[in-house]
Chains A and B, each alone.
Chain A
Amino acid sequence: MRSRHGLVLALALAGACSAPGADDRQAFVIDALTRDNQRWLDRDPAQVAAKYRIMAARTFDFFRGTAGLYWRDVTAAGAAASASPFAADDGAWLWIVGDPHLENLGTRRRADGSIYVDWNDYDAATRGPWWLDGRRLALGLMLGAEDAGLAAHGPRLVELAAHAYAAELVRLADGGPVALERGGAVIADLCARAATAGDAGARLADYTRLDAAGRRTMFYGDVEPPAEDGTWIDTTVPVAGRERADVEAAVGDWRRGALVPAGALLGISRRLGAGVASYPAPRYYALLGGASDRADDDLLVELKEATAPVGMPPVPAALALGLTEADRTVVAERTLAAAPDDDVLLGGATVAPRSFRVRSRSGYERGVDLADLADDAEGLDELAAAAGRALARAHGRAPTVAGGAAAAVIAPRLRGQADALATAWQRDAEVDAARVRGDAARFADALARDPLLGGAP
């Protein structure tokens, strides 16, 4: 008996070595991405594989899909954690956008019908350090310039954004009114196209159809066909069974807190192929009757399953938001948006354990696409400055945990310091961009071995 026990122990010891270590940074990228996508890997791994393919095809999309890596790297003992000259205790837990970059800018429509540009994605918004939110913007500008074929122009974009940020923050702290982003050729063109599409009922036309009796019904099929590798781009599919019951329950829950009444639920579809970071997250379109029986005032709302921001520094318990993930994004949008009441359909819905952010889906909402800015240095300059101002408005107008606008906390550090801010953001952005390029190469290498990075359920 004793010799048998000894044999078992020896075998256990012999087989018990930890796995051979790969490139440390590659191991970190694989592990962090798997953790951040675990929910979707468990539920729909094909969607995660498609997300990874998108990220591998374009460095800017890799950047978009790795906000969690960024936040790990710049906080705690991460690879790029360094004390900013603008860091301070009282600015550490202000409301931040979380993932501010050019392709998260988009158009919004005011009640008077005018269109302007502001942040359109608050999925990662939470409380955190404002200067690291700015650093993320700077990183996106460096990579955005590369994406537009103007890599050498990146530092100039960062400088413009930093100066615009500092000037706008100080202006707000001094009591200046909130100004909406409408000016400049690129933004004016974006707004004009959004107005045209919205007036024409573009999204309703894309995702619904009128039947022979003139009633509006959901459209299921390719609004834009999938790519050759099967990656969805813009397709809607029917929703049935438990999934449909969840969406119907979510619409019901949203109605109870909605700012405006909406009519009967006329149809539901699932949208495939939207976003990068949230590509695998279920998005549903719900068609709702309008104020009349006519089809021309029907409403289309999007329900997107919300998840927690990843990689962020842990908020102390006394400062925790204590909200569902959807409610966090809704509160964040109402807190950070320049004109928080523009989307009267914005709301949260909970069907435990899932929660959904609900918002309007119309042609009036149109996102910035860097593909439209290839080799357009002037256009990028305009957007970089607008992004800096938009971030300043978001940060400055949001309340601090102790009350009062955050502009009063941030502005004293920025008065006369715009050049220093630009220098700090440029220095960090250069380093961060090099790291992201390296990570993208490591990611592509790992993806060539396994389309789910070894994270298959």
Chain B
Amino acid sequence: MKAPLVLLAAALTPPVIAEPGVTARGRAAVSAAAIVESTGGVTASRFDLDRAELGGDATAGAHGIGAITLEAIRSAGPDSAMGLDGNSLVLRLRHAALGGRWTAAPALTLTGRLGLVPDPWTAAVDDHPERALGRALTETAALVAPSDLGAEVTLAAGAWLRVRLVVGNGEGARDVERNRGKTTSVVARLAWRAPALGELALVAYGRDGSVGPGAVRSHRLGGALGWHHPRGAAGIELVRGWGVGAQPDARALAATAWLDAPVIADAGLTVRVDRLVVEGGGEDQAGWTLQAAAWWALASRARVELAFERQAADGAAAVIPGAPGAIDVTRALLRVHGSFEDSE
């Protein structure tokens, strides 16, 4: 029963907890930017904190495991100033789960957790340091919540195969269960490593789900291919969605391609292209986002970037039909981001 306290301690104090039978590891991630953006004939500048996360994980005894992550979010809506204490940044739980791990064979591990568990797709595509240019498209487009109240079972065979099953409410962290159905997500990750070629990973994803009292369908099918090597990294991700937000008849396609390459020691380039299409009963909504950055490494997992970003809608397929330029945005960003873990 010490595990929750240990987890909290892990979140707040990154150094390793030296308690018999317990090991804990802390981590933190921050992404902040100075932004100049132009949209609708207006140019404005602002500072932004895109990501601030603090958390940790722990093992206790032979089987006990747990993890907790806090994140900072704006407390008001996007067009409002009315949140907590004005529009303050507030902390909320992003993940909090507790469970156990069993080793069934030398390379076969079964893990089970209950709580606010990470979405397996987001976890699979969001856990590498090259995710420099923001969160996964499926998360920013609200096709997938970053976590859900539920149960998670993971079966891992060495480093080459991992299958994760999550059964949850489907409402994410914002709501309790609101219909009779449960949401089931499965992600399988198959990795192949060769010293000369690096690691090639294939991720497959499926979800059968429903959200809200109307039991709006929320089904997803996706895949990703990623390559990681000391000389660079690249990936493509594709998710098809049936049911978007409150619209059960809407379909979505989210696609991302990214490339990260060091050019000289401690400096390099990152490019990312996102494509989002939402098809409803009327006009489609479709748009592109292009991001490109030159980066300099402050440390092994910390960078400063000078980035350019362009968001544009397709013709009539805009958020406001017939006004594709209404949400076109061009941004220049000076951004710092990094993730830190203790050395355990």
Which A positions have Cβ atoms within 8 angstroms of B?
Answer: 1-2, 5, 8-9, 12-13, 15-22, 24-32, 34-35, 72-84, 87-93, 126, 128-129, 132, 308, 312-325, 327-328, 350, 352-353, 355, 401-402, 453-455
Instruction: State in angstroms the CA–CA spacing of A323 and B81 once bound together.
Output: 5
Q: Which residue of A lies closest to B43 (CB)?
A: A318
Q: Which of A27, A84, A128, A314 contacts B216 (CB 8 A)?
A: A27
B222 within 8 A of A: no
CB–CB A353/B82 < 8 A: yes
Query: Interface extent on B, as a size class?
Result: 35 or more
Q: Assess the A87–B214 pair: CB atoms within 8 A.
A: no
Rounded to whole Å, the gap between the CB of A420 and the closest CB of chain B is 14
Is A83 a contact partner of B326 (Cβ separation < 8 A)? Answer: no
User: Which of A9, A30, A73, A319 is close to B214, meaning CB atoms less than 8 Å apart?
Assistant: A30
Smallest CB separation, B156 vs chain A (Å): 14
Cα distance A314–B236 when bound, in Å?
28
Nearest Cβ on chain A to B304's Cβ, whole angstroms? 22
Q: How far is the CA of A31 from the CA of B212 in the complex (A)?
A: 6
Tell me, in angstroms, the Cα distance from A22 to B325 when the chains sit together: 37
Q: List 26 A-B contacts (CB under 8 A).
A: A2-B104, A18-B170, A18-B208, A18-B218, A19-B181, A28-B246, A28-B247, A30-B214, A31-B212, A32-B246, A35-B212, A77-B282, A78-B282, A84-B322, A90-B40, A92-B326, A308-B82, A312-B79, A313-B320, A313-B327, A315-B78, A323-B80, A324-B80, A350-B82, A352-B84, A453-B214
Q: Which of A19, A75, A324, A402 contacts B82 (CB 8 A)?
A: A324
Distance (whole angstroms) from the CB of B75 to the closest CB of chain A: 8
* In contact, A18 and B215 (Cβ under 8 angstroms): yes
Q: Does A79 lie within 8 Å of B248, measured CB to CB? A: no
Whether the Cβ atoms of B322 and A308 lie closer than 8 Å is no
Most buried by A among B41, B151, B170, B320: B320
Q: Is the pair A308, B77 in contact by a Cβ cutoff of 8 Å?
A: yes
A24 with B248, Cβ < 8 A, contacts A12-B167, A324-B82 known: yes
A313: chain B residues at CB < 8 Å are: 319-320, 326-327
Find out whether the CB atom of A317 lies under 8 angstroms from the CB atom of B181: no
Q: Is B131 an interface residue (CB 8 A)?
A: no
Q: Which residues on the B side are within 8 Å of A77 (C-beta)?
A: 244, 247, 250, 278-285
Task: Rank and list the top 7 A-B pairs by shortest CB-CB distance, nearest first.
Answer: A87-B322, A19-B181, A77-B280, A83-B322, A92-B326, A454-B213, A30-B214
A-B contact count (CB 8 A): 236
A78 CA to B244 CA in the complex, in Å? 11
Please determine whether A31 and B323 come into contact, CB atoms closer than 8 angstroms.
no
- Once bound together, how far apart are the Cα atoms of A312 and B79, in whole Å? 10
Q: How many Å lie between the Cα of A28 and that of B245 in the bound state?
A: 9
Please tell me if the beta carbons of A21 and B217 are within 8 angstroms of each other in the complex.
Answer: yes
- Extra pairs beyond A313-B320, A318-B39 (14, CB < 8 Å): A16-B184, A24-B248, A24-B249, A28-B247, A34-B178, A76-B278, A308-B80, A314-B78, A317-B46, A320-B78, A324-B81, A355-B82, A454-B179, A454-B214
Q: Which of A25, A319, A328 has the most CB of B within 10 A?
A: A319
Q: Is the CB of A28 within 8 A of B79?
A: no
- Is residue B34 contacting chain A, with contact meaning CB distance below 8 A? no
- CB closest residue in chain A, given B252: A77
Given A9-B165, A77-B282, A87-B322: A72 touches B85 (CB 8 Å cut-off) = no
Residues of B within 8 A of A24 (CB): 248-249
B86 within 8 A of A: yes
The B244-286 residues at the A interface (CB cut-off 8 A) are: 244, 246-250, 278-285
Question: A8 to B155, alpha carbons, bound, how many Å?
Answer: 14
B40, A79: Cβ atoms closer than 8 Å: no
Q: Which residue of B lies closest to A93 (CB)?
A: B40
CB contacts (< 8 Å) of A352 on chain B: these are: 82, 84-86
Report Cα–Cα, A74/B318, bound state, in Å.
Answer: 11
Instruction: Contact check, B323 vs A91: say whether CB atoms are below 8 A apart.
Output: yes
Which residue of chain A has its CB nearest to the CB of B282? Answer: A81
Least Cβ–Cβ distance between B268 and chain A, in angstroms: 28
With A12-B151, A19-B210, A322-B81 as contacts: A401 and B215 at CB distance below 8 Å? no
B165 to chain A, nearest CB (A): 7
Identify which of B41, B77, B110 gathers the most chain A CB atoms within 10 Å of its CB: B41
Which residues of the other chain, A, contact B213 by a CB distance below 8 angstroms?
A: 30-31, 34, 453-455
Least CB distance from A423 to B in Å reads 16
Closest to A25 in B: B249
Any A CB within 8 A of the CB of B153: yes
Residues of B within 8 A of A322 (CB): 79-81, 87
Name the A residues within 8 Å of B249 (CB-CB).
24-25, 28, 79
Q: In the bound complex, do residue A76 and residue B285 qualify as a contact, i.e. CB atoms below 8 Å apart?
A: yes
CB atoms of B321 and A82 under 8 A apart = yes
Q: Are B283 and A83 in contact (CB under 8 A)?
A: yes
A17 touching B181, Cβ below 8 Å: yes
By a CB distance below 8 angstroms, the chain A residues around B324 are: 89
Contact A75 B212 (CB under 8 A): no
Closest to B85 in A: A352
Smallest Cβ distance from A154 to chain B, in angstroms?
A: 22
Q: Taking each of B151, B215, B325, which has the highest tally of chain A beta carbons within 10 Å of its own beta carbon?
A: B215
Contacting pair A88 B81 (CB below 8 A): no
A79 to B170, CA, bound (A): 24
Min CB distance B296 to A, Å, is: 27
| A401–B40 CB distance below 8 A | yes
Q: Provide the bound-state CA to CA distance between A105 and B213, in Å.
A: 34
Chain B's nearest CB lies how many Å from the CB of A95?
A: 13
Residues of A within 8 A of B170 (CB): 18
- Find chain A residues with CB under 8 A from B153 CB: 9, 12
Q: Is the beta-carbon distance between A129 and B323 smaller than 8 angstroms?
A: yes
Least CB separation from A1: chain B residue: B102
Query: How far, in whole Å, are A16 and B81 apart by their CA atoms in the complex?
Result: 39
Chain A residues with CB below 8 A from B325, complex form: 89, 92
**Please, how many angstroms separate the alpha-carbon atoms of A355 and B82 in the complex?**
8
Residues of B within 8 A of A308 (CB): 77, 79-80, 82
Hey, which chain A residues are within 8 Å of B77, CB to CB?
308
Are B180 and A88 in touch, CB under 8 angstroms?
no
By a CB distance below 8 angstroms, the chain B residues around A126 are 79
Neighbour of A316 across the interface among B40, B83, B321, CB < 8 A? B40
Q: Which of the residues A8, A21, A82, A455 comes within 8 Å of B215, measured between beta carbons?
A: A21
A16 CA / B78 CA spacing, docked (Å): 34
Contacts of B214 in A (CB 8 A): 22, 26-32, 34, 453-454
How far apart sit A390 and B118, CA to CA, in the bound complex (Å)?
A: 51
User: How long is the Cα–Cα vector from A15 to B283 in the complex, in angstroms?
Assistant: 37
Please give, as numbers and ranges, the residues of chain A lying within 8 Å of B246 by CB-CB distance. 28, 31-32, 35, 72
Q: Kindly state whether residue B194 has any CB partner on chain A within 8 Å.
A: no
